[in-house]
Structure 1
Amino acid sequence: MYDASIEPSVTSVEEQQRRAWLKNGFFLLWAFGFIAIMALVGMRNGPQITLVAWLIFFGVLFAIFYNPRYGVYCLLGFTLVSDIAMLYWYPFVKNFSSEESIFFVSNALIFNPVELCIVLTAVSWLARMWFVERKLEFTTGPLFWPVLVFIIFITLGLAVGIVRGGNLNIALWETRAIYCLPALLFFVTNLIKTKEQLITLFWCAIIALFVKSIAASIYVATVLNFAIGSVDRIAEHAMSIQFNSIIVLTVATLLFKGPMSWRIVLPLMVPTLMLGILGNNRRSGFIALGLALFFVMLILYFDNRKLFAIITPPLAVFCIVYLAVFWNSSGPVSLPVNAVRSVLGQANERDASSNLYRELENANTMFTIQQAPLTGVGFGRKFYIIAPMADISFFVFWEYITHNSMLWIWMKAGVGAFLAMIYMISWSLMMGARVIRTMPNGELRTIAVGATMYILMHFVFGYVDMCWDTASMVYIGSVMGMINILPQIAAQPAATEG
């Protein structure tokens, strides 16, 4: 923890009242001014959906300046709703220069609302400490240093790519999302103080992903006419593991006595989440979900062996019967079975084609790594293609970003970045396991299980699929921050949210 006092003397009551009056007056003036401007725009141009969106966004900015903790809630919630494939118009992760975004302003504004909110949350937080609390105080936690080392190597990879003639614009597109990880880790570690605030933060993820699952279900019903499996996917690859995280959280809530509101609400969300998972049809997502549920049951074995003995036999029978019945089926219900068959070397035609592409891509990745194993080729530079692959040129960065997100880090930023990433993942999972074992049964253990299992699923998924996008980094940074602060929250006496 870093603590630097700005002013040793205690601020008087009159001074505190004056600052509060100035703060409230400033926010009221800003709010009335903004409402007046929006009203004039509405009167001039008529009612527009973009006007409503801008009103919401400026409300977010207002909330961030009112209390930086609200910035953490907004960052996680509004980012997880996004999907560049299914919700192409949704603006939160798109640059203000993206013409398809409803927040399009100018081609010159090459940053997005997520990045703006991260900067403003940091400014609001620092201003609050400087002017209100009169001291600078930062908490790092055990996961801060592994993440910092990883980010240092990513920055070195960015420098190497630029120095070696890489495309600066592409290099920034490759790396900018990764910097969201340490930002959210640091924000959650320092701004989330109580159990109630932690539950609220997870609620933001739950609500956001449920909203996206509704959009996915509508897409499956109206566009695909419930012909699940008729398209390669309906959304971004990582949407599957994001939905998985709420499925796992639902199971953990029921097994470990999570918040009563979660026990009531989460099971009701499962149908739309499952429909979205099936519609997106990511084999790695099914495997990651199965692995996470296996570890949840393993945790239950050590936590409550009586309940484990009651649940496990019928669950095992169900899984065996399900695999036997749908082993040779091609319907939507058999998609998880197809994932298992693919792992065992019995992939269908579609999956075999996908496997071949990844094998060729991995061969190209390994050849590229061998050309610069210590430093990597650098971000912004293409990887070498010695084994021709199928044409996926519709993906703009197909010559820069590979499906194997683990080897991609080595290929781009060198062996140091790869080892730092492995250390970061291992330390996060180890800390998560430790927190699970030490948390009391109830809300905190449920959160610990949900956060740790998402980290596990994210990087299992990343072994065969792309996982360094903005939404994934905001989510993974948030759950790492949760693990970082759970011991401190568990150790404090019961507190109410201020």
Structure 2
Amino acid sequence: MLLLLATASMLWLTYAAVRGAVWPIGCTLVLAFFPFPSTVDTNLSLGPVSLHVFELALVPALIVAARLRVPRKVLVAAAVFAIGILLWAILGVAQGHGINAVILDTRRSFVLVAALLIGGTWIHPTVGAMLTRTLPPFLWISCATAIAGSLGIVDLAGRIRAASLDFNDTSAAVRLQIPPLYLAVAVLCGLVALFVVDRSVHGGVTRFGLPSIMIVVLGFSRNAILAIGVAVLFAILVSPRIQSVVRSIRLVSTASLSAAALTLLLFLLPASSATVWFEQQISSFNSRVLDGIRPGAIQADRSAQFRFQGENPYLKEAIAQSPVTGHGFGYPYRPAAVAGRTETDATVDLVYYAHNYYLWIWTKCGLLGGSVLLLTLLSPAIGAVRRRAVSTVGATAPLAGLMAASVVAPMPNGSPTSALVGALCGAGLALLSHSAKTHVDGETPEHPLRPARPALGRQRVESRSHATKFGGSRVGTQTKLGRAPAEPSVLSRNSSRSEPR
């Protein structure tokens, strides 16, 4: 029944994409990151592979991307990454690794490639307007659903556990590692980076920031703090001015004072079930996240020590055996039973999987392939820093933050984080392409989702003549629904000021 429903839905989305709609991209976003209840099965089994429904929705979204013609930089990056994955998959098969193991290692990478192409549509006005309308209500609904899950009202799909470094702690809050968590992290990375480079977010704190903060807090993830911190540092690198440093200090001070004020307010309010719940969240966040980044706490954290002692030594040993070309995808780099864990289906899969993405890609692809793949993923962030492209930080700062977190959590290998990383990479490359074009044409860089405003006099006459020449009129500037293009996405608005070359 689920397969029939999914097939019908994909056919409908494909038909809409072919007919010219852009909302299949929004549907893919919702399917990828919505916090579904655990009773809703969102996976389809096709032979040895289990597909999430959002992976099927990538097909109509790719049709939209093909119709809108993404920038050449995006196409080149997608081709390079896909060819690299294919070459080292062939190497894995040639070295005798099982086909199922090769598929397990590479499937998220192909999701990343598809999302990279889709992310290249960021600069198109209709896509930007659709995402601006879709993302705020989606984040608020996800926030409300996460709160309901924390209160035990609904049982959500994902990793639900105690928000404590001690797995047996029953007094801690509920930790929700659900699909919208890292989407919220990416949104916060974009917002703080825009603030640091002095780009106004125009109500983004209320529409995007508040629900994202709540989702991140309920996730109790130290990786989120790492990603946001790197996004702030990245924004300073893109805009290396004393004002950027001052605004970063203001941001940290405001966040600290707000947290202190909330704690004081809860202390002054009369005891109730709501205040008890809030106090539990704050206490667990302080103990697991803020105190959990201390070296002593990390030494006592079984999860962190499993990464450092149960994975990294085996990865380094495998790298030493073939440092240049790697072992190919599908290579089992360590035994199944490690660090006292019993051998189960999950641990059998862990012989291929690792939390440190950089050591993992080096093990599989060697220095040669790993360098190419990583440089492709990081090329938007590198380009933004080199060219001081402040109008791109809405995409490149979240990308830098998530890739920094990939030292301990493999974002390009996760689900749905692989799609998120790919989309941010494609969006960053598209924004860089737009920025380069505006500089070459001698124009002041406008926001990529807002058509450039015509100057007075000659340019306006030329614009009218151009429209007449091709049979157009003022009506021709409207969208297919008869409306002018909507306001651009808040995550990269206000780029009308010239960027330093």
1:213 Cα shift?
3.4
Which residue in 2 is equivalent to 1:154? Answer: 85
Given that 1:283 and 1:336 are in contact with CA atoms closer than 8 Å, whether structure 2 keeps it comes out as no
Whole-Å separation in 2 of the counterparts to 1:265 and 1:67: 28
User: 2:331 aligns to what SS in structure 1?
Assistant: coil
1:408 paired to 2:360: yes
Measured after TM superposition, the shift of residue 109 of structure 1 is 8.4
Alignment partner for residue 247 of structure 1, among 188, 191, 214? 188
User: Which residue of 1 is the match for residue 456 of structure 2?
Assistant: none
TM-score normalised according to structure 2 size? 0.67
Secondary structure in 1 matching 2:353: coil
Give 3-state SS (helix, strand or coil) of 2:330's partner. Answer: coil
| Residues 454, 59 of structure 1: alpha-carbon distance in 2 compared, 3 angstrom cutoff | same
The CA distance in 1 between the partners of 2:39 and 2:242, in whole Å, is: 44
How far, CA to CA, are the matches of 2:229 and 2:63 in structure 1?
41
Q: How many pairs were matched up?
A: 410
Q: 1:150 to 1:193 in 2, by over 3 A?
A: closer
Alignment CA distance shift 1:163-1:88 (3 Å):
farther
* Residues 235 and 393 in structure 2, CA contact (< 8 A), matched pair in contact too: yes
Q: Which of 255, 265, 268 does residue 207 from structure 2 map onto?
A: 265
Asked if the contact 2:34/2:180 (under 8 Å) is kept, the reply is no
Specify the alignment match of 1:42 in structure 2. Answer: none
Aligned counterparts of 2:236 and 2:255: Cα–Cα separation in 1 = 11
SS in 1 for 2:105: helix
Question: Offset of 1:455 from its aligned partner?
Answer: 0.7
Structure 2 CA distance for aligned equivalents of residues 226 and 473 of structure 1 = 23
Question: Which of 134, 145, 150 does residue 220 from structure 1 map onto?
Answer: 150
Per the normalisation by structure 1, the TM-score is: 0.67
Equivalent residue runs for 1:175-186 within 5 Å: 175-186=106-117
Amino acid in the other structure paired with 2:207: V
- Mapped contact 1:234–1:279 kept (Cα < 8 A): yes
CA distance in structure 1 between the aligned counterparts of 2:141 and 2:292, rounded to whole angstroms: 31
Q: Is 2:127 aligned against 1:168?
A: no
**How far apart are residue 379 of structure 1 and its match?**
2.2
CA distance in 2 between partners of 1:313 and 1:213 (Å): 23
- Kindly state the Cα deviation for residue 404 of structure 1 after the two structures are TM-superposed: 1.0
* 8 Å contact from structure 2 (residues 16, 24) kept in 1: yes
2:147 & 2:255 partners in 1: Cα distance?
A: 29
- Supply the distance in 1 between the matched residues of 2:117 and 2:76 (Cα, whole angstroms): 11
Change (3 A) 1:469 1:362: same
Look up the SS of the partner of 1:177 in the other structure.
helix
**1:187 partnered with 2:118:** yes
Q: What is aligned with 1:311?
A: 250
Specify whether residues 185 and 427 from structure 1 end up closer, same or farther in structure 2 by C-alpha distance, changes over 3 A only: same
Q: Would the aligned equivalents of 1:241 and 1:289 in 2 still touch at CA under 8 Å?
A: no
Deviations along 1:437-467, one digit per CA (max 9) or x if unpaired, are 445xxxxx3xx32311211121111111132
Q: Does 1:474 align with 2:419?
A: yes
> Is the 8 Å Cα contact of residues 252 and 258 (structure 1) preserved in structure 2?
no
Match of 1:26 in 2: none
Cα deviation, residue 407, structure 1: 0.9
Q: Give 1:395's aligned residue.
A: 346
| 1:453 equivalenced with 2:383 (yes/no) | no
| 1:292 positional shift | 2.2
Cα displacement string for residues 296-344 of structure 1 (whole angstroms, at most 9, x for unaligned residues): 467677385697399368449749989xx9xxx9974463665455544
Q: Give me the whole-angstrom Cα distance separating, in 1, the residues matched to 2:406 and 2:38.
A: 23
In structure 2, what residue type is equivalent to 1:458? Answer: L
Match of 1:32 in 2: none
CA–CA distance in 2 between the matches of 1:373 and 1:140? 32
TM superposition shift of 1:383: 1.4
User: 1: CA distance between counterparts of 2:58 and 2:208?
Assistant: 29
Q: Structure 1 residue 63: deviation in Å?
A: 2.1
1:426-437 equivalences under 5 Å are: 426-433=378-385, 437=388
Letter in 1 for 2:247: F
Q: Check 1:309–1:111 CA distance in 2 against 1; reply closer, same or farther (3 A cut).
A: closer
Of 452, 465, 477, which residue of structure 2 is paired with 1:493? 452
Out of 380, 385, 406, the residue aligned to residue 462 of structure 1 is 406
- The alpha-carbon deviation at position 56 of structure 1 amounts to 5.7
1:71–1:434 CA distance, 2 compared to 1 (3 A): farther
Identity %: 18
How far apart are the structure 1 equivalents of 2:297 and 2:150? Answer: 24
2:58 to 94, 118, 121: 118
Question: Residues 296, 109 of structure 1: CA spacing in aligned structure 2 closer, same or farther, 3 A cutoff?
Answer: closer
Q: Following TM superposition, by how much is the alpha carbon of 1:363 offset from its aligned partner in structure 2, in angstroms?
A: 0.5
Q: Distance in 2 between matches of 1:263 and 1:274?
A: 10
Q: Give, as a single letter, the amino acid of the residue that structure 1 aligns with 2:325.
A: T
Q: In structure 2, do the counterparts of structure 1 residues 78 and 330 end up closer, same or farther at CA, with 3 Å as the change threshold? A: closer
Alignment of 1:225-304 (within 5 A): 228-229=163-164, 230=172, 233-235=175-177, 240-251=181-192, 256=198, 258=200, 260=202, 262=204, 264-269=206-211, 273-296=212-235, 302=241, 304=243
Secondary structure of the corresponding residue to residue 89 of structure 1: coil
Residues 195-210 of structure 1 aligned to structure 2 (within 5 Å):
195=125, 197-201=127-131, 204-210=134-140
Residue 228 of structure 1 contacts residue 332 of structure 1 at CA under 8 Å; is this kept in 2?
A: no
Instruction: Give the partner amino acid of 1:463.
Output: V
Q: Which amino acid aligns with 1:166?
A: H
Change (3 A) 1:450 1:336: farther
Contact 2:35 2:146 survives alignment (8 Å): no
> Partner letter of residue 367 of structure 1?
E
Q: Distance in 1 between matches of 2:428 and 2:379?
A: 11
451-460 vs 310-319, which moves further: 310-319
- Whether the aligned pair in 2 keeps the contact of 1:300 and 1:308 (CA below 8 Å) is no
Name the residue aligned to 1:79. Answer: 32
**What is the aligned-residue RMSD (CA, Å)?**
4.3
